Amino acid sequence: MESDLWNFEKDAWQKGFSRVAGIDEAGRGPLAGPVVSAAVILPQGFSIQVRDSKTLSPKQRDNFYDKIYAHAMSVGVGIADSAEIDRINILKASLLSMRLALENLKLQPDYLLIDGQFPIASDLPQKPVIKGDSLSISIAAASIVAKVTRDRLMDKYDEAYPQFGFSKHKGYPTKAHKEAIRKFGYCPIHRITFKGVKEYAEQIPAIW
């Protein structure tokens, strides 16, 4: 039932915490673009039954995104760009973007629910939740904010580098995207340490 999505939050409230932040990321798998994380603190009276962003259409995500920003106690976003991903690896960059999202909350939480199996660098009490975006309403809300934010960034990158079709695949390794890399090389937002880019980075001049 949808109410089960509140179980992790209710458990934290029962332990005396009052501002529970759900944190999730979007963009670990693409060959291009940043990894974007969001942190969301929902009020206890939040009645909108959001779901994991992966189960929603783009229109549904946009609708929920607006409602989350309208009703959440606080929303923070953190971004690690492709250069940072290449420098420290995607896992560390994802955890970094999560920490930045936490730091960008205007209201300080007292408990964190983190999507995945790894904690983030914070002294706050926290609980990593595997598949948390389908188990916690706060993490689900964060997944929507992260996904919509990243998709909109990729739409802007599509205007700068239209030959790659970023607005369609958002940087993921589709057949069309990989063919564009073979044809044009890579651009400044490509992750040159990723398989699917690095093989061609030395062969074809980059588009800068």
Q: Kindly report, residue by residue over 110-165, the tens digit of the pLDDT.
A: 999 999 999 999 999 999 999 999 999 999 999 999 999 999 999 999 999 999 99
pLDDT digits (tens, 9 = 90+) for 37-89: 999 999 998 999 898 898 999 999 999 999 999 999 999 999 999 999 999 99
Write down the pLDDT at residue 1: 37
Write down the pLDDT at residue 2: 45
Model confidence at 183: pLDDT above 70:
yes
Position with higher pLDDT, 83 vs 202: 83
Q: How far apart are CA 146 and CA 140, in angstroms?
A: 10
Model confidence at 3: pLDDT above 60:
no
Model confidence at 108: pLDDT above 80:
yes
Q: How far apart are CA 112 and CA 58, in angstroms?
A: 27
> Which ranges in the chain are annotated with CATH 3.30.420.10?
2-158
Could you name the CATH architecture of 2-158?
Answer: 2-Layer Sandwich (3.30)
Write down the pLDDT at residue 156: 98
Q: Which residues are 114's β-sheet partners?
A: 23, 128
Write down the pLDDT at residue 177: 98
Write down the pLDDT at residue 200: 83
The two three-digit tokens of residue 195, written as one number: 């398989």
Write down the pLDDT at residue 208: 63
Q: Which residues are 22's β-sheet partners?
A: 40, 113
How far does CA 70 lie from the centroid of its chain?
A: 19
The two three-digit tokens of residue 200, written as one number: 């061609």
